Amino acid sequence: MTKRTRVFLLVSAGVLAAVLATGLAARAAGALGASTPDELAYVPATARMVAYADVREVMNSPFHDRFRQLQNANPNGDSIEARTGIKFERDVDSVLVASMDGPQAGLPKDSALLIARGRFDSARVEALMREQGGEIEQYRGKRIITIKDDAALATLAFAEPGLLLFGARDNVRGALDAKAGAAQTIGANTEFMALVGDVDDGTAWTVAKFDALLSQRGPVPDAVLGQLPPINWLAASGRIDSGLHGMVRADARDEQSAQNLRDVVQGFLSLARLQGSRDPAYRQMLDSVTLNTKGTSVSLSFDVSPAVLDSLNSPGGTLRRR
């Protein structure tokens, strides 16, 4: 065998081995959580809550109409469309929302950062924002456009082709800092990333510091929240196919708190079953609920079949009556 034949065969085997090794290394990294969305590289370590949704998968699911109703009720989504001309349904493939630690100076309510991946006509969006008085500046090599809107400064930046950042000016700058390595990203928070690794197989998921949720006024009354055992983290994920499969997990401070939390949730479930015993659809949904406790975490999983949702949404159904 000539020398050049040997060299050719060695190079060929080397290329193959190198690619296989790279793939196996990527797979091993994936097992450690590297399969999480790339957008997390833009989320600073100060984030208290991160939520992700595969918009395209949701849009293509049989639950599309219900999602549209939900989106219409979301003033933030409308706000983005009004300011930028970007239509969620048409332009966005996935969206990640991060809520930052504490209010920004001068921005008491708008502390969220939205990272959307999709197809955006950057020239058109930029022109629309300029029409509304938007100012363009350069930051870390990216063009960012800022609009003064009431008390807030809404800023948009095209961080990569097909990836935009939208939110308060400081948050968008913070995201670009994080990506550039000038600030720590949420990836450094191993506790947070472990939870993300547990839920990121869902069509939509969220991980939050529980106190971050408490600081936002939600549908749960303060009196109820005050009775809850101490919780550190809350994670939820939902998978949408022909039905909806959801999981909510709370990590309590210690095992005793987890047990107390389980009892509280069990009590609520019993109450709900009592209330909904006459409604077959409601009862069917409650029957699918499973409550588990493992160490300090309490998880509640449920399945909602399309038939159950249709029944709940039908005239005379539970949702209609409400």
Partner 1 sequence: MFELALGEMLWGRRAVFMAVAAAVPVLLALGLRLAFASGSATIVVNGQHLSPETMFGTAISLLYLRFIVPALGVYYGTSMIADEIEDKTITYLFVRPMRRGAIVLGKYLAYLVCVLAAVLPSAALVFVVMVPLASMGPLVETFVRHLEQIAVGIAAYGAVFVLAGVTFKRPLVGGLIFVFGWEPIAAALPGYVARLTVAHYLQGGIADGIGLVLASIGAVLLAMRTIEQREYVLEQ
Q: By CB under 8 A, name the binding residues for partner 1.
A: 1-2, 4-5, 8-9, 12-13, 15-16, 19-20, 22-24, 26-31, 34-35, 38, 56, 60, 93, 119, 161-162
Given a contact cutoff of 8 angstroms between Cβ atoms, the answer to whether 43 and 167 are in contact is no
Given a contact cutoff of 8 angstroms between Cβ atoms, the answer to whether 171 and 144 are in contact is no
Segment holding 204, helix H or strand E: strand 204-209
Segment holding 249, helix H or strand E: strand 244-252
Nearer of residues 29 and 220 to partner 1, judged by Cβ: 29
Segment holding 291, helix H or strand E: strand 290-294
Nearby residues of 267 by Cβ (< 8 Å), 6 or more positions away: none
Nearer of residues 60 and 72 to partner 1, judged by Cβ: 60
Nearer of residues 161 and 219 to partner 1, judged by Cβ: 161
Tell the smallest beta-carbon distance from residue 198 to partner 1 (Å).
17
3-state helix vs strand vs coil in the chain, percent to 5: 50, 30, 25
Tell the smallest beta-carbon distance from residue 161 to partner 1 (Å).
3
Distance, in Å, from the CA atom of 222 to the CA atom of 202, rounded to the nearest integer, reads 29
Nearer of residues 22 and 277 to partner 1, judged by Cβ: 22
Nearer of residues 91 and 177 to partner 1, judged by Cβ: 91
Tell the smallest beta-carbon distance from residue 230 to partner 1 (Å).
36
Tell the smallest beta-carbon distance from residue 41 to partner 1 (Å).
10
